[in-house]
Amino acid sequence: MRYRSTRGGAGVESAASAVVKGIADDGGLFVPDGLPKVPLGMISSMKGMGYAERAYVVMRPFLDELNERELMGCIDRAYSGDAFGGDPAPLSILGDGLAVLELWHGPTCAFKDMALQFLPPLMGVCKGKIGTAVRTLILTATSGDTGKAALEGFRDAEGMEVAVFYPSEGVSAVQRLQMQTQEGSNVHVFGVEGNFDDAQRGVKEIFSDGGIAAEAAAEGWALSSANSINWGRLLPQIAYYFSAYADLLRLGRMGAGDPMNVCVPTGNFGNILAAWYARAMGLPIGRLTCASNMNDVLTEFFATGAYESGRAFHRTMSPSMDILVSSNLERLLYEAAGRDGAAVGSLMKALAEEGRYDASALAAAGAFGPMDAGSADEAETAAAIKGVYDRYGYVMDPHTAVGYAVLGKIAERREADRPDRVGHELLVSTASPLKFAESVHSAIFGPTGAALGWGDLDYVDGLSEGCSIGVPAQFGRLRHAKALHGEVIPKGGMADAVRSIMKGSVRAAR
């Protein structure tokens, strides 16, 4: 399998090269030359497989440079019992037609673990494939969850350093603690004065800066990314949709070939794009629902085809979705435009220079596929958390609750339009509710914690006790962990932070 840029201005790369580089030389994102098809018979046979074997079947065609031992080694290391403590992606059945895909049973209690436990060993193998011995500096912008997952995944990885940039006032208290207390000889964490889009823009500008690239080469470094702009981050996310379908078959909730609708709480568009790819590969997905919080740029885009990033930015209780520039949408645009890299490059140029672009012709032609979109405000999100708990005794984090609230709106419309094609609903749950304990506890029990003067971790204990959910060991360790990374930099200082890492001054200062 070969890979090319969504913007058409870079050469064709091997899978190993695409993973190691992370982003194409022209600033575009790597996409595979084609999407392999998985026959329905093979999907049905996954009922009898474990998660690792399912992941191997899905990812093998995309990584055919790796032999079976190499790929299975990466998969086994990622999804072992040590990392996930059992099934990495279990289902919780809430009703006859609704299942929740829980993707937060990894070491950082967020769905990013599903990819960022796999990417570090994959990158190590891929570096060997292309014969590079230079050190790799992994740059990661995060709205909260990716940062901790990248830090944990790449911690003490040989020949690699990882730098995480997060919005200093735009993550939950637990997310901040998780990053600031991260141990490891090769990890670097910076708060950025701005929002996630500022951090993400800064990382992209570093990649496109020829001067920094030259400095990196002179210092013996290569730059790469752990964000879902890296194909090696996005690919393993495709696998869990096939796994969820196989589990619904195994449980007798559907028959082979029956449609499964998928609702994904969405910020940077990677998780739902993985579902779009799974559908294109033959997984019987009916409709996709792109669920946004008050930062509803994607809702408007799928309604009109117009993308406007220069709009009001809202800080919400679902901070991992507080994003106005969704990077992975570029890959969908590439497919929708008939793989016309020049056309996509023009749209991305308009976004960078004008803060907007117009793809209304693609939207009108139905080129984005069976995509629904909707948004939920803060009151609707809190009501969804409480409503699900009262009805099912199930505790959702705010991001998953956004998905549930939007799904309720969309499902009613679907049933009215085509009751014969409703299908089973799969709601993707992206994080443990304990990562957002204050918001979840307040939604279910009201302002009792505030009245008692609770601190951040008191809400974790209160939610655990009030809803009878266990506290993972990693949360308990946060109470006594030492803060190791407290630096906050201006958004214009990210390039200098990267230079300091490459020159060793950050590490020497510790």
Unique residue bearing structure tokens 């912008």 = 141
Q: What's 104's DSSP letter?
A: -
Enter the tokens of residue 340: 């016309």
Task: Say if strands 30-32 and 135-141 run parallel, antiparallel, or are unpaired.
Answer: unpaired
Enter the tokens of residue 404: 């549930």
Which helix (H) or strand (E) segment holds residue 306: the answer is strand 306-308
Enter the tokens of residue 352: 């960078």
Per the CB < 8 A criterion, the answer to whether 471 and 434 are in contact is yes
Could you give the CA distance from residue 280 to residue 416 in angstroms, rounded to a whole number?
Answer: 26
Q: What's 217's DSSP letter?
A: H
Complete edge-to-edge strand list for the sheet that includes strand 488-490: 221-225, 135-141, 160-167, 187-193, 488-490
Give the chain's end-to-end CA distance (angstroms, integer). 43
Per the CB < 8 A criterion, the answer to whether 330 and 28 are in contact is yes
Q: Calculate the alpha carbon distances from 429 to 50, 99, 109, 400 in Å.
A: 20, 10, 11, 5
Complete edge-to-edge strand list for the sheet that includes strand 13-14: 13-14, 2-5, 30-32
Could you give the CA distance from residue 79 to residue 225 in angstroms, rounded to a whole number?
Answer: 21
Amino acid identity for residue 165 in this structure: F
Per the CB < 8 A criterion, the answer to whether 134 and 220 are in contact is yes
Using alpha carbons, select from 470, 406, 403 the residue that is nearest to residue 432: 470
Q: What's 110's DSSP letter?
A: B
Contacts of 260 (CB under 8 A, 6+ apart): 244, 245, 248, 254, 283, 284, 285, 286, 423, 424, 425, 426
Q: What are the two backbone dihedrals, phi and then psi, of residue 358, each rounded to the nearest 5 degrees?
A: -120, 110
Could you give the CA distance from residue 246 to residue 55 in angstroms, rounded to a whole number?
Answer: 12
Alpha helices of 446-493 — where are they, by DSSP H? 448-451, 456-467, 473-478
Which residues are catalytic, by number? Answer: 112
Secondary structure (H, E, C), 20-87:
HHCCCCCCCCEEECCCCCCCHHHHHHHHHCCHHHHHHHHHHHHHCCCCHHHHHHHHHHHCCHHHHCCC
Could you give the CA distance from residue 41 to residue 468 in angstroms, rounded to a whole number?
Answer: 41
